[in-house]
Structure 1
Amino acid sequence: MTKKELRNIYKQKRTLLGETETDKMQDLIMIQFQQLPLPFLHYLHTYLPMDIQKEVDTYPVMEFLKFSNPGLNIVVPKTNPEGSAMIHYLYDEHTVLVKNVHHIMEPAGGNRVASSNIDLVLVPLLAFDERGNRVGYGKGFYDRFLAQCRKDVIKVGLSFFEAEPLIEDTDEFDIPLTYCVTPQKVYEF
């Protein structure tokens, strides 16, 4: 299937998820995530989940990684819609968040972090395939950002659903995931 087809299908699948089912899948994703063979991390870049999109909640992942990586720096993006780029800021208890035009919570400002510092990125997605390609929301923010990261950056997707066999219309600038964690398993690419 194409990205557009998968985007429509998986947006619909998410809207049909009930709260009890989502909570159970979220717990199973955390159990699977804890099995990842991760090195010690200094900088974690994460999206802040949009409730309106029923995204996998990244807050439990952040807490787990902070516990297992003392001194971990959490980094969150702020989008620049005009430039189709993201600026990255440290995220802590003092960070002021505001909702952007896409209903995404973003930092109002703060201490910027270079893409080259980041060790692991939690990448938002709607769907992914067995090769590690993903379908995002179609704006290309994360592909541009990941191209600026170090070659050894770990890219992890979190999904309530299992992999599609193949996304037919991937581009040469699409950057595949390193792992994708679902309620049933960890996919390694």
Structure 2
Amino acid sequence: MLKSEARAAFLQKRAEITVKQQTIWDDLLLIQFQQLALPPVHTAFSYAAIERRKEISTDALLGYLEFRNPGIAVAYPVYDPATSLMEAFLTNETTVFQVNEFGISEPQNGTVIPPRELDLVLVPLLCFDTHGYRVGYGKGVYDRYLKELRPDAAIIGLSYFEPVDRITDTDKFDVPLNYCITPQRIYEF
């Protein structure tokens, strides 16, 4: 399946999710996430879900990580449209978030943390394949960022849907996931 075909198909599938389905699937995703055998996590990088796009919220997963790793630092992306790059801003309970021009909630203050200091990254996606490659919104922002991580950092995708067999137009710029979690199971790559 081509990225463009996957993007169109899974945007449609996601649009058809009911609130009840989403609530149940979010609970099941948390249960699956709790089964991951992760080493201690000191710094996690997440994303703020876009509700209108029915993206998977990471709030419960981060709550679990904070419970398991007291003192964990959590960062969120800030996107620069001029360069098509993003940076990770450390956040805390006083961090103010503001919606940018793309409808993404971003921290307005905080300290930038280099990618190499991240232990775990939760990655948004539309779909993924059985080889760990993901399809996002098509700008390559996450792939450019993920290339800068340490080799031992955990890259975890979250999906309401099971994988497609193969995304046929991946290239050398695509960074595969280490794991993808669905409501039904954990995929390890």
For normalisation by structure 2, the TM-score amounts to 0.99
Residue 72 of structure 2 corresponds to 72
Instruction: Give 2:55's aligned amino acid.
Output: E
Residue 62 of structure 1 corresponds to 62
Percentage of identical aligned residues: 45
Separation in structure 2 between the aligned mates of residue 94 and residue 140 of structure 1, nearest angstrom: 30
Instruction: Give 1:154's aligned amino acid.
Output: A
The reply on whether 1:103 has 2:103 as its aligned counterpart is yes
For normalisation by structure 1, the TM-score amounts to 0.99
Separation in structure 2 between the aligned mates of residue 140 and residue 81 of structure 1, nearest angstrom: 12
Residue 127 of structure 2 corresponds to 127
Separation in structure 1 between the aligned mates of residue 114 and residue 170 of structure 2, nearest angstrom: 27
Separation in structure 1 between the aligned mates of residue 14 and residue 110 of structure 2, nearest angstrom: 33
Backbone CA RMSD of aligned residues? 0.6
Runs of 4+ in 1 over 3 A off after TM superposition: none
The reply on whether 1:117 has 2:117 as its aligned counterpart is yes
Q: Deviations over 1:72-98 (max 9, x none)?
A: 000101000110111111111111111
Separation in structure 1 between the aligned mates of residue 97 and residue 83 of structure 2, nearest angstrom: 21
Helix, strand or coil: the match of 2:92?
coil
User: Mean Cα displacement is larger for which, 162-171 or 107-116?
Assistant: 107-116
Separation in structure 2 between the aligned mates of residue 87 and residue 186 of structure 1, nearest angstrom: 28
Separation in structure 1 between the aligned mates of residue 106 and residue 44 of structure 2, nearest angstrom: 16
Q: How many residue pairs end up in the alignment?
A: 189
What are structure 2's unaligned runs of at least 5 residues? Answer: none
